[in-house]
Amino acid sequence: MTRTSEDYESRSEGIADRTRFHLAALHTGGIATTFAIAGALAAKDVAPSWNFWPVLIFAAGLVVTAASLLLAKHMALKRRDANRKTESESDFSSWYWRHFSYEIAATVLFLVAVLVGLVTLRILSLPGT
């Protein structure tokens, strides 16, 4: 069976959609976990202000993932419109049109948020210790 460029494009878009789904779940789970830990530590009289930076970075990752979703929608609409008008497709070769740019940025933001959260927890001291 010979694959066409449309097959590869469809597979690429499917993988990108799944990757964005998992990145959104990871960032959302990171925010939930950070707040759960902050809640548990608040019972031990630790101010929850330590979670500001990790939550902010997780939220930035969600924003990048949402931008990637909106970009994918915009690209699909441009392709649809070009197909209706029987024009050539728009050129999506710049870095900001590429899905993997946003996926890499969201992954890096996730890793940075986890690192910041762990470092913050490591230097956090419990009252009375």
pLDDT tens-digit readout, 50-80: 999 999 999 999 999 999 988 888 887 887 7
Q: How many residues are listed for the chain in this entry? A: 129
The string of pLDDT tens digits covering residues 25-47 is 999 999 999 999 999 999 988 98
CA 103, 109, 111, 117 torsion-angle sign: negative
CA distance 77 to 93: 17
Other C-beta atoms within 10 Å of 103: how many?
19
Q: Where are the domains of the chain?
A: 11-123
- Give the helix/strand (H/E) hosting 121: helix 99-123
Q: How confident is the model at residue 4 (pLDDT cuts 50, 70, 90)?
A: confident
Q: What values do phi and psi take at 27, rounded to 5? A: -65, -40
Q: Tell me phi and psi for residue 65, to 5 degrees.
A: -65, -40
